[in-house]
Every structure is written in structure tokens, then in C-alpha cells.
Amino acid sequence: MKTPNIILNWFFILAWVVIALLSQMDMMSGWWIGPLVILWLVVKVIGSFFIGLNFYFFSHCSAITNERIVALTFDDGPDDKLTRPLLDLLDEKGAKATFFVIGEKVLGYTHLLKEIHRRGHLIGNHSFSHARFFDFFNFTRMRFELVRTRELIYKNTGVKTQLFRPPYGVTNPVLGRAIHALQLVSIGWSVRSLDTTRSPKKALQRLIKKTHPGAIILLHDTTPDIVEITKKYLDWLTSNDYRVVSLDQLLTIKAYE
Ligand SMILES: [Zn+2]
């Protein structure tokens, strides 16, 4: 598949060849290769940070629909204090969500993982360590992270999840290879609440402003006010004729093998 990254590489290789040839013929200064390399690197870094660009590999970030439906996703749990009250709220409101769990956290709270599954929510893989330098890991280490979490989920729930969300939403070619090798489905988002950095009020305002038909909403069940934010957001969705559906329904994909 021709990703924007491959197209970019071909474009810059061509530009380098042209500059090299023209400089050989004294028609252009070879100096231009320097700024070109810098520009090439800048575009690659931008491509890494914006999952919605699908720069290195494809990620589902929303569904194309006019129907007022959205899918909620919660990252970085399970959390000892917050996941269960959040599950209670979702039950109360009759909403199903997807939880992208970190393997290392699952180890301590397998009962919460089982509970997420038992209550009918989907479970996705969000790496084992969610390490700060995850994106600098080599293929073997990255693959190991994804396999380890997938197996933890399988051991505790009996489901083989195909859903994967890159830590920090950062992508690169090595991660693309690991996802491809394990046949995972990469999931991004179209509405980021910024609930981990903004006040509950600001996060809610942002959610309301950015919600659209077919949106995938990014939240975290590690944010101290997540229950309050989610409750108010669900109420707003209902009063604005939006329906919460699960991620596999929204995208018409299979969540589990
Ligand atoms: Zn995360």
C-alpha cells in the first residue's frame, strides 16, 4: 500500500537526484540538498504526531456517516479508583465503550479487565508499558509489547482483540510493521477531549464543540474527573439526538479474532 510516507520518500529521492544532476552541470548549487533533508525530516515528524494523517499506516479515526452516532474510547486503564465508577455510569446510561488497556496495569487489576468484558464493553490493546520512548523501540521489542498485552487480555477474558491504539497516538514505520505482523487494527480518534491536561469544564466544552456524526471520542479512565465529564457529555449527547454505539458497530469491523 502506498502510504503518504512512501510517496514522500520517492518525491524527495527524485528531488535529490535532480539537485545532484543540476549541481554537476553547475546549474544549481548542491547546497540545496541540506534544507531539503531538513524539510524531509520535519514532514516525517509531523506525520508521526498526527495519527489522522495515516502517514505510516492506516488508522480508523472516524466513520463516514450522517447518522448521529459516536463511539467512546477510554485509554490508559484499568484504574483502581476510576474504572469501576465509570463502568457503573456507563451501565446506568446504557452506553457501551471501548477500553484501550495498558498491559502493565492489567497485571495488577485483572479483576477490572474481567469486569469491563463482563459488562459488555470492548477491550483494545494499548501496549504493555506505554513507555515514554515507546516509539524508539525496535521491531522485536515493540512486537513483544503488543503480544504480551494481547495475551494478557486473552488469558483474562478469552477474547483475542484486534483493536490497537498507538501510545500517545504516535506512529512510525516500525510500529506499522509490528501492527501488520500481528494483523491488528489501528484505531485513532477524531475528537480528543484533552481530559488529561484541561479542566473538566474545558474538556467538556471541547467535546461538545468537536462532536460530529461518526466520531471516535478519546477519553482516559485515569483522569480524576472522568466520571463527571462522561456523565455530562452523555447527557449532552442524548439531548442532541446522538447515540453512543460500540466501536465495532461504528466502523463495521470485527473487534475480536
Ligand atoms: Zn495512552
Using the mean position of ligand 1's atoms as its centre, give its distance from the Cα of residue 238 in Å. 27
Number of C-beta neighbours around residue 66 at 10 A: 7
Using the mean position of ligand 1's atoms as its centre, give its distance from the Cα of residue 20 in Å. 43
Q: Which pLDDT belongs to residue 1?
A: 67
Biggest alpha carbon distance in the chain? 74
* Same structural domain, 199 and 228: yes
Over the chain (257 residues), what is each successive 10-residue block's mean pLDDT? 87 90 86 89 93 95 98 97 98 98 96 98 98 95 97 97 97 96 98 96 98 98 97 98 98 96
Average predicted confidence (pLDDT) for the chain: 95
Residue 62 lies in a domain: no
Residue 231 belongs to domain spanning: 69-251
Phi first, then psi, for residue 99 (nearest 5°) are -110, 115
Using the mean position of ligand 1's atoms as its centre, give its distance from the Cα of residue 74 in Å. 9
Using the mean position of ligand 1's atoms as its centre, give its distance from the Cα of residue 247 in Å. 17
* Rounded-to-integer distance, Cα 235 and Cα 232, Å: 5
Phi first, then psi, for residue 72 (nearest 5°) are -95, 135
Using the mean position of ligand 1's atoms as its centre, give its distance from the Cα of residue 77 in Å. 9
* Same structural domain, 209 and 158: yes
Whether residue 72 contacts residue 116, with contact meaning beta carbons closer than 8 Å, is answered with no
* Same structural domain, 29 and 137: no
pLDDT digits 0-9 by tens, 157-173: 999 999 999 999 999 99
Per DSSP, which regions of 87-146 are E strands?
97-101, 122-125
Q: Which pLDDT belongs to residue 51?
A: 94
Residue in 161, 52, 32 with CA at minimum distance from that of residue 106: 161
pLDDT digits 0-9 by tens, 68-92: 999 999 999 999 999 999 999 999 9
Stated pTM of the model: 0.93
Q: List CB contacts of 169: < 8 A, sequence separation 6 or more.
A: 49, 51, 188, 189
* Same structural domain, 135 and 190: yes
Q: Which pLDDT belongs to residue 34?
A: 87
Q: Which pLDDT belongs to residue 239?
A: 98
CATH code, 232: 3.20.20.370
Residue 55 lies in a domain: no
Lookup result for grid cell 495515516:
54
Using the mean position of ligand 1's atoms as its centre, give its distance from the Cα of residue 19 in Å. 42
Residue 61 lies in a domain: no
**Domain tally, the chain:** 2
